[in-house]
Amino acid sequence: MTSGTKAKIEMSAGHALRCIECGEELERAAAEFRCPRCGDLLEVVYPAWAESEAQTLVWASDLKATWRERRVSFQSQDASGVWRFRELLPRVAEGVISLREGNTPVFELPGSARSAGVGRLLAKHQGMNPTGSFKDTGMTVAISVARQEGFSWVACASTGNTSASMAAYAAQGGLRSLVLIPAGKIAWGKLSQALDYGALTCQLDTDFDGCLRILTELVRRHPIYLLNSINPYRLEGQKTAAIELLEQLDWQVPEHIIVPGGNLGNCSALGKGLEELRRLDLIARLPKLSVIQAEGANALVRTLREGGGKRLVAVQAETAATAIRIGNPVSWKKAVRVLEATGGRCEQVSEAEIAVAKAEIGRDGVGCEPASAVTLAGLKKLVRQGFVQPQEQVVLILTGHLLKDPEYTLKFHRRELLPDAAEGERRSLDTYRRAPLEVEAKVEAVLRVLEQAEKSHGAK
Ligand code: F0G
């Protein structure tokens, strides 16, 4: 690469914050990350890109080569699957707080592909991040900005993953962290992570939406940095999953990307990443980005169907997929715009459909947490609707690790999950259920079990 092009690329990192509604530009956001003029959401923009637009073709090939070269570097920012793409991120002069996030694998899901009725199905597993979810990719950016801005406390409301991620990055960066979680509604694995990473953890007698309301008020009264996905720096980090995915696909754009929707930050982030790749001519077209929700937490589905995408229809959320048990999603407007820009769809799936899909992803040897499995359940619907064609390339974004919620998995296999499922649903659930067997501690006894299993396998 010539030194001339390098200078151009580095120049691109100067950023501003801009209101998505009224276009107001700011250098620094207020504590609750809303536009001071109209109260809407902010996004990170890079004014220098516009000035250098004529150069984007030169850039594109240079950037792809630079990013690839960094994969073999031992320098800590290069080893991060987020900061490897730093030309498209805000510059953090103080140094970044990183746990080598990103660099997550793309897996084949052959069994799930058959079940969904598509020829080939890929999954980018964001649960393979250091704390077990996609949140790490956003947290590394936002928490680095928090330290640069001089904060000593950071905070979030969480259904589990955000709290574990924030607590880990705060600990790594020498910051203190406050976590607000809905009492009894987060998976034990996640709570234990937050505790071990040293977070001040408060279980509140409310749901996620209630925790977020309290936190928004708290940050107005106390100097504490808000790390929920209303923070646009979180989304900047999360958008790199889209960049990394395209790189892993050798820049061949898939037809569909499918992602779960809760607070709707992640689909907004991935959409922003894709649109920026397109704008910089790093890809020739956009994939369709579709968002799937649980039926009991379907605010975006209803916002589109009943509100025409113009006003939020909030819901009282209920689903065993606790990560997406969110009724009043902050980033709904960004999500609607991403669906419109990419031509994706928004669908909802039932609790039984989620449980079956999760088990199917498990049977591919990959596994994920319940919220992530909505993607496969949603894909099946989109195929039935004819929106996804069998020969099209589809990538599911698996957002969290199987081990986040072993209680859900054990309940499923012990037939304790969805005891009231209808007959048809129960039959599909039973196909995948494997409760542990109580067996006498003798070789003969285990042999008998094995023979039995071989017989019933042969009978299928
Ligand atoms: N999948 C997982 C595993 C999640 O943890 C979340 C959100 C989502 C999907 C939805 O992403 O909110 O950006 O639409 N988890 C939150 C938390 C809210 O607190 O960990 P979204």
What is the predicted pLDDT for the residue at 365? 98
Atom of ligand 1 nearest to the CA of 262: 14
One-letter amino acid for residue 229 of the chain: S
pLDDT at 54: 54
How many Cβ atoms are within 10 Å of 410's Cβ, its own excluded?
13
Dist CA 105 CA 128 (whole Å): 8
Q: Which of 53-67, 256-270, 409-423 has the lowest mean pLDDT?
A: 53-67
Three-state DSSP at 408 gives helix
The per-residue pLDDT for 58 is 62
Q: What is the pLDDT of residue 27?
A: 86
Kindly tell me if the per-residue pLDDT of 8 is higher than 60.
no
Q: Is 324 in the pocket of ligand 1 (CB under 6 A)?
A: yes
Q: Is the CB of 159 under 6 A from ligand 1?
A: yes
Give the distance (Å) from ligand 1 centre to CA of residue 457: 37
Report residue 12's pLDDT band, with 50, 70 and 90 as the boundaries.
very low
Average pLDDT of the segment spanning 6-23: 72
Q: Is 319 in the pocket of ligand 1 (CB under 6 A)?
A: no
Return the pLDDT at 50. Answer: 72
CA-closest residue to ligand 1 atom 7 = 323
**Which pLDDT band holds residue 49 (cuts at 50, 70, 90)?**
confident
Residue 124 has phi, psi (to 5 degrees) of: -90, 120
Give the global pTM. Answer: 0.95
User: pLDDT at residue 460 above 70?
Assistant: no
The pLDDT of residue 247: 98
Look at residue 372 and tell me whether its pLDDT is greater than 80. yes
Q: Is the CB of 173 under 6 A from ligand 1?
A: no
344 lines ligand 1 (CB under 6 A): no
Lowest-confidence segment of 116-120, 215-219, 404-408, 437-441 by average pLDDT: 404-408
Contact criterion met (CB below 8 Å) for 243 and 85: yes
Residue 430 Cα to ligand 1 middle (Å): 28
Query: What pLDDT was estimated at residue 169?
Result: 98
Atom of ligand 1 nearest to the CA of 266: 13
* Binding site membership of 235 for ligand 1 (Cβ less than 6 Å): no
CB atoms within 10 A of CB 55: 17
Q: What is the mean pLDDT of residues 428-444?
A: 94
Amino acid 376: pLDDT: 98
The answer for residues whose C-beta is within 8 angstroms of residue 28's C-beta and 6 or more apart is 17, 149
Confidence of residue 243 (pLDDT cuts 50, 70, 90): very high
Residue 377 has pLDDT above 60, yes or no: yes
Kind of pairing between the strands at 16-19 and 42-45:
antiparallel
Confidence at residue 52, expressed as pLDDT on a 0 to 100 scale: 62
The mean per-residue pLDDT over the stretch 405-425 comes to 93
Q: For residue 372, how far is its CA from the centre of ligand 1 (angstroms)?
A: 9
pLDDT tens digit sequence for 277-331:
999 889 999 999 999 999 999 999 999 999 999 999 999 999 999 999 999 999 9
CB 276 within 8 A of CB 237: no
Contact 52, 59 (CB under 8 A): yes
Tell me: pLDDT of 175 over 90: yes
Query: How far is the centre of ligand 1, averaged over its atoms, from the C-alpha of 324 (Å)?
Result: 6
262 CA from centroid of ligand 1 (Å): 6
What pLDDT is recorded for position 9? 45
**Stronger pLDDT, 346 or 59, i.e. the higher one:** 346
Cα–Cα separations (whole angstroms), residue 290 to 311, 341, 348, 404: 19, 11, 11, 24
Distance CA 177, CA 142 (A): 13
206 CA → ligand 1 middle, Å:
18
Which ligand 1 atom is the nearest neighbour of the CA of 165? 20
State the alpha helices, DSSP H only, in 264-342: 265-279, 299-305, 332-342
Report whether 360 contacts 115 (CB < 8 A). Answer: yes
**pLDDT reported for residue 421:** 93
- Tell me, in angstroms, the distance from the centre of ligand 1 to residue 161's CA: 7
Instruction: Kindly report, residue by residue over 126-157, the tens digit of the pLDDT.
Output: 999 999 999 999 999 999 999 999 999 999 99
Q: Is residue 5 scored above 70 in pLDDT?
A: no
Chain-centroid distance, C-alpha 95: 25
- For residues 257 and 122, give the distance between their C-alpha atoms in angstroms, rounded to a whole number: 10
Which atom of ligand 1 is the closest one to the Cα of 291? Answer: 14
Residue 40's pLDDT is 97
Residue 459 reports pLDDT greater than 60: no
- Mean pLDDT, range 57-78, rounded to an integer: 88
